[in-house]
A and B are shown apart, each in its own frame.
Chain A
Amino acid sequence: MNALKVVLGRELSSYFATPVAYIFLVIFLMLSGVFTFYIGQFFERGQADLVAFFNFVPWLYLVLIPAVTMRLWSEERRSGTIELLMTLPLATWQVVLGKFLAAWLFVGLALVLTFPLWITVNYLGSPDNGVILGAYIGAWLMSGGFLAVGSCLSALSKNQIVAFILTLVVSFVLVVTGFPIVQDAFSGWAPLWLIDAVANLSFLTHFTAISRGVIDVRDLVYFAAMIGIWLYATSLVVDLKKAD
């Protein structure tokens, strides 16, 4: 447990050791503002909720989460520090989990920093704050899914750019499988269970309900499983690739 905390602490402080973290936070907050107020038409909708914001969160993640995870493992492999790290008395899962949790906390911080949106909507009307809190928790959970995917794909390559693009592509697939256009492509011929399976694979399908404030156990299980499976895959990839 202690070792896990040490790995987490080092990883988290390394985000802030370079300007990358600050740039990320600024871009994340700027884009969330743009999406909510311009594209999401927050004012024109005339409703006291943050649906305008949460609708766009998956798309924000799609572009920004790969930027958080791309250096997670590929930088360790490129610079050789992975040899230092993996010959310390640490189990692979401790390192995998420590790194993941650091990234997850960092994205959590980015979400917390969107609080001006919450203040705005509370100033203008009286929203259901329970729904908003649920949506925030859902958004954070979903970020865990994206991050776990990114962690695994970052371990695959020594090149951060390759890691970024791989994560972007795989995340994109995991988002759009929930889209009507993808669903339609299956609906003519595929059996119902397959259509359901494809739809259920999507981050979007499981996030939509949560973003409306409906917390369903199945959605929580989905995100937990997504994180668990991709992190397990990460540890396999790390053990396989670390010495390459």
Chain B
Amino acid sequence: MITVDKLTKQFGDFFAVNGLTFTVEPGEILGFLGPNGAGKSTTMKMLTGFLQPSSGSVSVMGFDVLKTPVEAKRLIGYLPEGAPAYADMTVLDSLRFVGKVRGFSGSDLNTRIQETVDKVALNSVLNKRVETLSKGFQRRLGLAQAILHDPQVLILDEPTDGLDPNQKHQVRELIQNLSKDKIVIVSTHILEEVSAVCTRAMILSDGAIKFDGTPEDLAAKSVYHNSIHVHVAERHSELKAKLIQLPRVSKVNELSEGALQVLSENKDSILSDVNAVLHSGSYQIDELHVEQGKLDDVFRTMTSKEVNS
């Protein structure tokens, strides 16, 4: 378990992280969301013991990161922002270095490196120097360095940044395939990533938590949650007029010729109501679906005020 208590980081007058308190249980995949400068990286740096907090505490599986940093760091695998690696070393040497520091040696070290290299598909560049690698390979080397010791706690700062869609998919699968009793914390500003891999989402803005819940809860915050998208071949103005009369419908938008977006008043399901109207009028329906809500909108409404002020 990770316990974060009133964690604060101050740079001069500026609070990069302001009194964060939360816990993460084994089995959770926590996604950190937030605009640039929200304090995601700063928080991760404090969780991993790299940055000294101004106040507050972090404990990882019972080890206080400030008082027993080496013990805590042993349990953590960390991919820092930008996936730094020694430019003048080869991929294999880099992994050997990290493995040896973590106490592996001999054949144990070799098997571990081989397994990790297979997982992140680094085989083709093992003997290349890091400075010659593409961004995608560098990111994967960073991941390999983080997961080499099969850590209890994995902290990844923007793991999919700079990867192509296939590689992104690969990394997401990798995260999901970690065994179920691990703790994973991922930061990202790709919102679909949160719904794709995370069991819990946390939105940070101005160093404080703006939202903490499941990705589904987050989607439910959207004004478009449970809204209905319907596309009819003809008589759409007439349909629009009928739909707006429904008691639980707050608004009907006409997105394009024949495409209507029906917003739910209280964000409950209005499918049956809309369906009744469609049936009674015998409309020819080209398309009909219920929207879960756009994370983008929720994200913007939760964080934009702070950005603008």
Distance A2 CA – B100 CA, assembled complex (angstroms): 8
The stretch among B78-86, B159-167, B254-262, B297-305 that forms the contact with chain A is: B78-86
Q: Decide if A88 touches B80 in the complex (CB within 8 Å).
A: no
Which residues of chain A in 196-244 are interfacial with respect to chain B, using CB atoms and an 8 Å cutoff? 239, 242-243
Chain A residue nearest to B82 (CB atoms) is A80
Chain B residues, CB < 8 A from A91: 69-70
Which residues of chain A in 46-95 are interfacial with respect to chain B, using CB atoms and an 8 Å cutoff? 79-81, 83-84, 86-91
Quick one: given A6-B101, A17-B88, are A88 and B73 in contact (CB under 8 Å)? yes
Distance A80 CA – B85 CA, assembled complex (angstroms): 8
A3 part of interface (Cβ distance < 8 Å): yes
Q: Decide if A87 touches B80 in the complex (CB within 8 Å).
A: yes
Which residues of chain B in 46-65 are interfacial with respect to chain A, using CB atoms and an 8 Å cutoff? 48-52
Q: Decide if B51 touches A243 in the complex (CB within 8 Å).
A: yes
Distance A120 CA – B166 CA, assembled complex (angstroms): 66
Distance A60 CA – B145 CA, assembled complex (angstroms): 40
Q: Decide if B50 touches A90 in the complex (CB within 8 Å).
A: no
Quick one: given A17-B89, A79-B87, A81-B86, are A242 and B101 in contact (CB under 8 Å)? no
CB distance from A6 to the nearest CB of B (A): 4
Chain A residues, CB < 8 A from B50: 83, 86-87, 242-243
Quick one: given A17-B88, A87-B50, A242-B50, are A3 and B101 in contact (CB under 8 Å)? yes
Distance A13 CA – B89 CA, assembled complex (angstroms): 9
Chain B residue nearest to A15 (CB atoms) is B88
CB distance from B192 to the nearest CB of A (A): 27
User: Which of B45, B49, B84, B103 lies in contact with A79, CB distance below 8 A?
Assistant: B84
B122 part of interface (Cβ distance < 8 Å): no
Map CB proximity to A onto B96-124 as digits: 1 under 8 Å, 0 otherwise. 01101111000000000000000000000
Q: Decide if B86 touches A89 in the complex (CB within 8 Å).
A: no
A174 part of interface (Cβ distance < 8 Å): no
Distance A243 CA – B74 CA, assembled complex (angstroms): 20
User: Which of B85, B87, B89, B102 lies in contact with A88, CB distance below 8 A?
Assistant: B102
Q: Decide if A7 touches B101 in the complex (CB within 8 Å).
A: yes
Chain A residues, CB < 8 A from B49: 86-87
B76 part of interface (Cβ distance < 8 Å): yes
Q: Decide if B78 touches A14 in the complex (CB within 8 Å).
A: no
Chain B residue nearest to A239 (CB atoms) is B52
CB distance from B113 to the nearest CB of A (A): 15
A18 part of interface (Cβ distance < 8 Å): yes
Distance A89 CA – B70 CA, assembled complex (angstroms): 5
Distance A13 CA – B94 CA, assembled complex (angstroms): 12
CB distance from B87 to the nearest CB of A (A): 7
Q: Decide if A14 touches B145 in the complex (CB within 8 Å).
A: no
Task: Provide a sorted-by-A list of 15 A–B residue pairs whose CB atoms are within 8 angstroms.
Answer: A3-B101, A80-B80, A81-B84, A83-B45, A83-B84, A87-B49, A87-B80, A88-B73, A88-B98, A88-B101, A88-B102, A89-B73, A89-B101, A91-B70, A243-B45
Interface residues of B (CB under 8 A from A): 45, 48-52, 69-71, 73-74, 76, 78, 80, 82, 84-89, 93, 97-98, 100-103, 145
Q: Beyond A3-B101, A10-B97, list 9 extra A-B contacts (CB 8 Å).
A: A2-B103, A10-B86, A80-B80, A81-B84, A84-B80, A84-B85, A239-B52, A243-B45, A243-B50
Interface residues of A (CB under 8 A from B): 2-3, 6-7, 10, 13-14, 17-18, 79-81, 83-84, 86-91, 239, 242-243
